[in-house]
Amino acid sequence: MDEMGMIKMVIFGRHALAAGCILTLLMATGCRSRSPEVFDGETLRGWHVRGDPNSSGWVIGVAAVRPESPRILTVYEGAGQLINVALYNNHSRDIYTARYFGDCRVELEFMIPQGANSGVLLMGRYEVQIADSNGVEPPDRYHTMGAITGVAAPRANAALAPARWQSLIVEFRAPRFDASGNKVEHARFLRVELNGRLLHEDVVVTRPTGPQGDPLNRTEEPTGPLMLQGTQGSVAFRRIVVRPLPQR
């Protein structure tokens, strides 16, 4: 092999080594963190309890509603579902992702027993209501499934009966801030669908939807976690996916 050939081999080898290092680094640090699934179906890894963890009722298992106990979720051994076992108000705690999101699309499925109440909070601050409201008319902005709590009633009551799995899709635009940290644009729910029915489009949310006595609701940020309400009753979730949306 002549000198030029050896030089080419050395250069090629260096490029291959560099490419291999980059690929290894991406596999070790990047790919897993970019997975859209925020619940692995088997553990609470990647989730935090808001408040005292010893007061949490969140478990992994398989949930069902038995006819003789319609207001309670019965949990069986298994995996795939994130279940809050709360028999009454404040019997459990809210749970939120370790990962923070700005503009995003959330897709998940949930099931509640009779009379239950929960919620899906974008950035931990802006709530889409989950409540037993099947057949209740007219829809309102506080108690109807799919309401943007305190802000907008859903276009229709799309809630299914308790004990049935239901689907929720939310596309959310985070509030915008200038270089000094001043808010220059409010948060927006770009789209909310419940069980395949469109409930909201481009709804402006001027402040967090929760009570102002909660310190979390006194501030707004450019990113935040996905939070699932656990203080108001039993609920089960599965197939929880969060995909970042391109900023626009």
Q: Are residues 135 and 94 in the same domain?
A: yes
Q: Are residues 186 and 239 in the same domain?
A: yes
pTM, 2 dp: 0.85
Work out how many domains the chain is built from and give that number.
2
Q: CB within 8 A of 199, min separation 6: which ones?
A: 146, 154, 155, 156, 158, 192, 193
Q: Are residues 101 and 1 in the same domain?
A: no
pLDDT the model gives residue 131: 97
In this structure, which long-range contacts are made by residues 68-77, counting pairs with CB atoms below 8 Å and at least 24 apart in sequence? 70/113, 70/114, 70/162, 70/163, 71/113, 71/114, 71/115, 71/116, 72/113, 72/234, 73/111, 73/112, 73/113, 73/234, 73/235, 73/236
Alpha-carbon distances of 28 from 25, 37, 72, 98, 242, rounded to whole Å: 5, 17, 42, 18, 21
pLDDT band for position 21 (50/70/90)? very low
Q: Are residues 108 and 15 in the same domain?
A: no
Q: Are residues 29 and 143 in the same domain?
A: no
Q: Are residues 126 and 28 in the same domain?
A: no
Q: Are residues 125 and 14 in the same domain?
A: no
Q: Are residues 7 and 84 in the same domain?
A: no
Peptide bond between residue 208 and the one before it cis (omega within 30 degrees of 0): no
DSSP 72: S
Is it the case that residue 13 has pLDDT exceeding 60? Answer: no
Is it the case that residue 22 has pLDDT exceeding 80? Answer: no
pLDDT the model gives residue 89: 61
| Per-residue model confidence as pLDDT tens digits over 143-194 | 999 999 999 999 999 999 999 999 999 999 999 999 999 999 999 999 999 9
| Per-residue model confidence as pLDDT tens digits over 94-141 | 999 999 999 999 999 999 999 999 999 999 999 999 999 999 999 999
Is it the case that residue 2 has pLDDT exceeding 80? Answer: no
pLDDT the model gives residue 197: 98
**Mean pLDDT, rounded, of the chain:** 88
CA pair distance 238, 246, nearest whole angstrom: 25
Q: Are residues 161 and 109 in the same domain?
A: yes
Going through 102-182 in order, the beta strands assigned E by DSSP cover 104-111, 117-122, 126-131, 166-173, 176-177
CA pair distance 63, 76, nearest whole angstrom: 6
Q: What are phi and psi of 244, to 5 degrees?
A: -60, 140
- Domain range for 197: 38-244
pLDDT the model gives residue 116: 94
Scan for tokens 């997975």, then name that residue.
35
DSSP-based three-state secondary structure for 10 = helix
Could you tell me which of 103, 125, 149, 150 has the C-alpha nearest to residue 50? Answer: 125
Scan for tokens 């009779």, then name that residue.
114
Q: Are residues 13 and 122 in the same domain?
A: no
Q: Are residues 180 and 155 in the same domain?
A: yes
7 CB burial (10 A radius; 0-12, 13-18, 19+)? exposed
Is it the case that residue 16 has pLDDT exceeding 70? Answer: no
Q: Are residues 3 and 75 in the same domain?
A: no
CA pair distance 2, 182, nearest whole angstrom: 65
**CATH number of the domain encompassing residue 114:** 2.60.120.560
